[in-house]
Amino acid sequence: MSGPETITHWIAGKPWTGGAATYGDVYNPATGQVTGHVDLATAAEVDAAVAAATAAFADWRKVSLARRAAILFSFRELVKAHSGELAALVTAEHGKVVSDAAGEVARGLEVVEFACGIPHLLKGGFSENVSTGVDSYSLRQPLGVVAGITPFNFPAMVPMWMFPLAIACGNTFVLKPSEKDPSASLLLASLWAEAGLPDGVFNVVQGAKESVDAILGHPGIAAVSFVGSTPVARYVYSRGTMAGKRVQALGGAKNHMVVLPDADLDLAADAAVSAGFGSAGERCMAISALVAVEPVGDELVDRIRTRIKRLRVGPGTDERSEMGPLVTGPHRDRVASYLDSGVREGATLAVDGRAHPVIGAVPGAAETGGGSAEGFWLGPSVLDHVTTAMSCYTDEIFGPVLSVARVDSYEAAVAMVNVSRYGNGTAVFTNDGGAARRFVSEIEVGMVGVNVPIPVPMAYYSFGGWKSSLFGDTHVHGTEGVHFYTRGKVVTSRWLDPSHGGVSLGFPVSS
Ligand code: NAD
């Protein structure tokens, strides 16, 4: 087997050849082996990327909407044609099963498709004769160089939440992907080049905290989109805005699924298992807290347990696997530690994922795409009788651990969700339309599902949570994305006609 591959930056339309002082390890989570070394950017490489993006902006902002849309259409075709390759890269470095990786590419593509409509999205308003002989119209113009900083859990989709619209709006872009699974970003960069995007419009700097700090402090960057954990989102928002940048920073989550006593319990159990353990629970919209309104708790946990027993955990490359490994060894250990702390704090370990079989995890099978006993495995787990004081409830675990809390009433369930510091996603399961409608109105969360456990909005709506799940006012993609990546201008114009004339020092009013 060949040694670890070098993964570097993409600046000014080509891979970086300047080397790096330090690098990070990239793993195959199914085997635990190091498969890549990713260059970690310093301020110098961030400077080079911003310089390339600044130079490209001068022309890109003037490129016609028709031409921009044509490049986006080509990019869309190329991403579609290379979806399998992109998904394979995601599986190789993140570990998620390949069907799930293909799903994230498909959801990212929806934003590209939305951005293809940029000529329509950037249409302004026009009012004739706002005052006698005076017309007004509005424009939205690009900001300049904008940056995106993204998490490990969606290495293709989350960057695609950002750059298609940013670029379509006439900005140039610097992406700083997660250092844990950096390769998808480079395939996307080469597809942009093939689609005809001018050099320097899309750049990638690989790196960790040092590169993020260089982005936040860089005077040449006008705006930053961030997606990641809440502490880093808060940091990025405060440092970025202090430096005068426009910032949207999406943070972590603790998503509650409320099951009312009249719900279809089979539907609810299917949904809890799918949304709790899909992508090994490493989704910002994963259900991590199940709130059972009694008396359904015992029955629901029984049905969930039965379904978990049938789940096939194994390497993401095996099409029969339903759940893959976690992203790194330390992350797996941290997630598993909540099983012990939960029990210590009084919860019941209803399902212990440490005992779940890993199928295909045979040592030495890495070269054929199989797993290894050294991979970062943890099976689906359920902690029952969880209370809001326990750390398994208060912390974002970000792994395959479902915490079940039981409450006595609808009101208690809503109160529990509403005091949570997070407000990303939530779902209610019920057959009562009136109860569902009341839940939608009363719940303090940005994205709500009714009998739908992962209510990720389509690209033409905007994605984002409330409270500590989002810092800033603007959600990503949809029309809010267009607003984030542009600034408004209103023009008031008069073309002289023979009736003009006279000085007036009064404030302009319509006449
Ligand atoms: P993370 O916060 O550790 O990293 C996110 C990005 O910030 C990465 O690019 C990373 O290199 C950088 N970074 C990490 N630590 C930093 C530091 N101290 N200073 C500056 N930059 C730093 O998040 P992660 O572990 O990659 O991703 C998982 C988290 O992302 C979870 O909390 C999850 O809920 C969240 N997430 C949220 C959404 C959402 O839409 N709200 C979507 C996906 C993931």
- The per-residue pLDDT for range 46-98, each reduced to its tens digit, is 999 999 999 999 999 999 999 999 999 999 999 999 999 999 999 999 999 99
Tokens 């490489």, residue located: 45
What percent of the chain is predicted at pLDDT more than 90?
93
Which residues, at least 6 apart from 347, have a Cβ–Cβ distance to it below 8 Å?
Answer: 383, 384, 385, 386, 387, 390, 392, 403
C-alpha–C-alpha distance, residues 95 and 307, integer Å = 22
Report which DSSP code applies to 476. B
Closest atom of ligand 1 to 236 CA is 20
Question: What is the reported pTM?
Answer: 0.97
Tens of pLDDT, residue by residue over 391-442, are 999 999 999 999 999 999 999 999 999 999 999 999 999 999 999 999 999 9
- For the record, the structure tokens of 325 come out as 């490994």
Which residues, at least 6 apart from 176, have a Cβ–Cβ distance to it below 8 Å?
Answer: 41, 147, 148, 149, 150, 204, 205, 206, 207, 211, 212, 215
> Best of 25, 232, 468, 469 to mutate for ligand 1, by most ligand atoms within 8 A of CB?
232
Tens of pLDDT, residue by residue over 135-161, are 999 999 999 999 999 999 999 999 999
The mean per-residue pLDDT over the stretch 26-34 comes to 96
Q: Is 249 in the pocket of ligand 1 (CB under 6 A)?
A: no
Is 284 assigned a catalytic role? yes
pLDDT of residue 369: 41
Could you give the C-alpha distances from 283 to 227, 235, 343, in angstroms and in order?
Answer: 12, 21, 24
| Residue among 230, 142, 224, 167 at smallest CA distance from 421 | 230
Distance from residue 229's CA to the centre of ligand 1 (Å): 4
pLDDT at 368 over 70: no
Q: Is 279 in the pocket of ligand 1 (CB under 6 A)?
A: no
Distance from residue 150's CA to the centre of ligand 1 (Å): 6
Tens of pLDDT, residue by residue over 196-209, are 999 999 999 999 99
Distance from residue 151's CA to the centre of ligand 1 (Å): 4
pLDDT of residue 233: 98
Tens of pLDDT, residue by residue over 334-347, are 999 999 999 999 99
Closest atom of ligand 1 to 177 CA is 9
Closest atom of ligand 1 to 252 CA is 34
pLDDT at 33 over 80: yes
Mean pLDDT of the chain: 96
pLDDT of residue 367: 44
Determine contact, residues 98/316, Cβ cutoff 8 Å.
yes
C-alpha–C-alpha distance, residues 22 and 152, integer Å = 20
Determine contact, residues 353/381, Cβ cutoff 8 Å.
yes
Distance from residue 424's CA to the centre of ligand 1 (Å): 15
C-alpha–C-alpha distance, residues 19 and 39, integer Å = 7
Give the residue whose CA is nearest to atom 30 of ligand 1. Answer: 228
Closest atom of ligand 1 to 396 CA is 32
| Residue among 324, 353, 323, 327 at smallest CA distance from 340 | 353
Q: What is the DSSP string of 219-272?
A: TT--EEEEES-HHHHHHHHHHHHHTT-EEEEE----EEEEE-TTS-HHHHHHHH
Q: Which amino acid is at 61?
A: R
